[in-house]
Amino acid sequence: MLSFNSSNIVSKTRTIGRRMFLVSSFKAIVVVGILGRLAALQINQFQKYSGLSDKNRFRETQIAPPRGIIQDYFGKEIASNEKIYQLHITPEDVPNIDTLFFKLKNIINLTEEKVFLLKRRMAKQKRWDTLIIADNLTWSEFSRVNLFLHELSGLRPVVSIARVYSDNASAHVVGYVSEVTPRDLKNKTYLQDLRIKEVAVGKTGLESLYDQQMFGTPGYLRFEVNAYGKKIKQVSTNNGEKGKTYRTTLDQDIQVHAADLIKDVSGAVCVMDIYNGDIVSMVSSPAFNPNAFVHGIDEQNWKDLISHRDKPLLNKAISGLYPPGSTIKTLTALCALENDVFTTKLNVECTGYIELYGERFHCWKKEGHGMVNMRKGIKHSCDVYFYEVARRLGIDRLAVTAKKFGLGEKVLKGFAEEKAGVVPGTKWKLNQLGKNWYLGETLHSGIGQGYFLTTPLQLCLMTAQIANGGYKLNPRIVINDDEDKNPLLDFFKFRNENPNDSASIDDQLKRFNLEPLFRNQENINFIKESMFAASNEPGGTSYGSRHNDKKFIFAGKTGSSQIKRFTQEQREAEVKQSDIDYLERDHAWFVAFAPYQDPKYAISVLVEHGGSGSSAAAPIAKQVIQKVIERDEVRKAFISQLGEEV
């Protein structure tokens, strides 16, 4: 093998050595490159990749916090949370899904349809993701499942919480919760980064208004998951924060009583504290069962609700718009007195109608009231008298007064479903309808017909502001601890404590930074006195519904808002309201305040298509007032107990 000469070996060795040197240099460069890359990834970009690694590693499941509770004035729970019994399933742990469903059908109420839906949903999700089979089992079903649990592997009985409402009376004002819809996700931004499937959100009323606060802060369970998303172990938990509890001004006892009184008619009742604007009661009829929505309302039930003639889902107290009818006469009269257009003594002769440019405007009483002054006009609700008042007053001055007393604007802040109503005027008509105002329309407006549209709560507020002597109220339904002090209450307190203060009312008001709604308080007192006459003097429109007990005596004004004007033939044939189609009958109104001697509460009652206010609305008001005055003592006792001021 030693056939090569040594020079060959030497030259080869030299070549190899030289080339090896080049290769080694190249290797060194590559090593530096790899070390550099390592340093870049592990030292420079550590934060970035560490974050990505954690993102890989952890998954969070959100836990819905218990929803805030809605209480009445006395802390009684109107909307609270209850334990519910659910059945969860983890498809991964089920040996045979069909057998399981077959067995389950004998234990709980499970329809073929529901099984089909569950299977379809199951196919869409990961095998280890939990699926809810039954949302709200009865206790007996739940205990039966627990009994047979050893045969039902993969099934997990779970005790959870859900909304429950104590009764239907407050369904409209409190609202209801139900499943999240795409529209909720769009409107309620706080729901967008929520990843809880079975969460209920407020749809109407207070539930919707304070949804975010009552929802609370979701907690979470943090899991370590593997690359396929399977949970490996629980890392940490956070229970979140319970939703805020709201105490309302409502009295659940009155709510239930009032709802019971109007359950056979379609209508609304509102009761308001005339000094602090607390809404003591607000019910609408027909009511619905808010609990039906919590676990998803069934189709038939929903169809019944939305196709119902009387619109049970509508909160008529704030969303129902009706012409105020004769109840507005209190304002028409007040406006005339304040503007010095009329005096209380001025007489107008009522012959049953007046004529204006050849058109006849009828009084409700065909034979007429004879000579009518303002007190009598309100007491008998004489239309002809108020046609004359309105004619002299003009629509725009009436509109100013009506707006001052809260008509034509929303009473409560934030309620999405509340309507503002309409206070007509010459400018309003030109803007909205593009037409000029006619004098005839002023006459109709003067008795609350025509374009006027109000809600029961607005009329309740109007009455309350007359009853308290003409002071602006800020009605509230939720008691907010951090709410600013109400200067009006301080004013009333001052008046109570210093009845003989020499300063004029105007000076006193200025001291409390308040603006009165009147120019001369005598005018307000005159209206109150006239309303007393209407309710408590023979011949008054609501005399039949008066209270004889001094404690309950109220002063009120009836009203009926026309749906359709009577034709001449009907008028001559003396057609009664009960003789015409239900949907063409007048709406019946009654507004009042009580007790007359020392007013505390204002009330408005609306009965849809009830005919006349005196026959349909006033009797309901009578009973509500009795209840409210009775409950007043409880309320006062509760306030002193809380150490709050009146």
Partner 1 sequence: MFYSRASIHTPFSFKERFFSIDFTLLFSVLILGVISIFAQFSSSGGNFDYFAKSHAIRFGVFFIFFILISFINIRFWNDYSLLIYASLVILLILTKFFGVQSQGSRRWLNLFVFNLQPSEIMKIGIILFLSNYYHKISTNDVNKLKYLLFPLFAMTIPFLLVVTQPDLGTAILIFFSGAIITWLAGVRWKIFAYLTGLLIILAPIAISFLKPYQKSRILTFLNPDADPLGAGYQIIQSKIAVGSGGLTGKGFLNGSQAYLNYLPEKHTDFIFTLFSEEFGFMGSALIILLYAIIIYRITRIGMLTRSIFAKLYCFGFASAFFVFVAVNMAMVLGLLPIVGAPLPILSYGGSSMLAIMLGLGIAMSCNIYKNTTI
Binding site for partner 1 (CB under 8 A): 1-2, 4, 8-9, 11-13, 15-17, 19-20, 23-24, 27, 30-31, 33-35, 37-39, 41-43, 45-46, 48-50, 52-54, 56-57, 224-228, 232
CB closer to partner 1, 54 vs 549: 54
Q: Give the residue from 433, 441, 340 showing the smallest Cα distance to 387.
A: 441
Nearest distance from C-beta of residue 124 to partner 1, angstroms: 19
Cross-strand bridge partners of residue 348: 372
CB closer to partner 1, 17 vs 434: 17
Instruction: Kindly provide the b/e burial profile for residues 441-452, where b requires at least 16 CB atoms within 10 angstroms of the residue's own CB.
Output: bbbbbbbbbbbb
Nearest distance from C-beta of residue 62 to partner 1, angstroms: 22
Q: Which two tokens stand for residue 275?
A: 């000094």
Nearest distance from C-beta of residue 282 to partner 1, angstroms: 55
Q: Give the residue from 248, 225, 223 showing the smallest Cα distance to 236.
A: 223
CB closer to partner 1, 44 vs 347: 44
Nearest distance from C-beta of residue 10 to partner 1, angstroms: 10
CB closer to partner 1, 61 vs 525: 61
Instruction: Report how far residue 543's alpha carbon sits from residue 41's, in angstroms, rounded to the nearest whole number.
Output: 91
CB closer to partner 1, 225 vs 580: 225
Q: Give the residue from 55, 65, 62 showing the smallest Cα distance to 195.
A: 62
Residue 556 near residue 618 (C-beta atoms within 8 A): yes
Residue 263 near residue 601 (C-beta atoms within 8 A): no
CB closer to partner 1, 9 vs 583: 9
- Cis previous bond, 323, omega within 30: no
Nearest distance from C-beta of residue 59 to partner 1, angstroms: 11
CB closer to partner 1, 29 vs 416: 29
CB closer to partner 1, 225 vs 346: 225
| 563 residue type, one letter | I
Nearest distance from C-beta of residue 421 to partner 1, angstroms: 58
Q: Give the residue from 525, 524, 544 showing the smallest Cα distance to 534.
A: 544
CB closer to partner 1, 21 vs 148: 21
Instruction: Report how far residue 532's alpha carbon sits from residue 35's, in angstroms, rounded to the nearest whole number.
Output: 98
Nearest distance from C-beta of residue 236 to partner 1, angstroms: 15
Alpha helices (H) along 263-314? 291-294, 299-307
Instruction: Kindly provide the b/e burial profile for residues 201-210, where b requires at least 16 CB atoms within 10 angstroms of the residue's own CB.
Output: bbbbbbbbbb
Nearest distance from C-beta of residue 131 to partner 1, angstroms: 25
Instruction: Report how far residue 2's alpha carbon sits from residue 168's, in angstroms, rounded to the nearest whole number.
Output: 113
Contacts within 8 Å (CB) and 24+ apart, 507-514:
512/487, 512/488, 513/487, 514/471, 514/472, 514/487, 514/488
Nearest distance from C-beta of residue 293 to partner 1, angstroms: 40
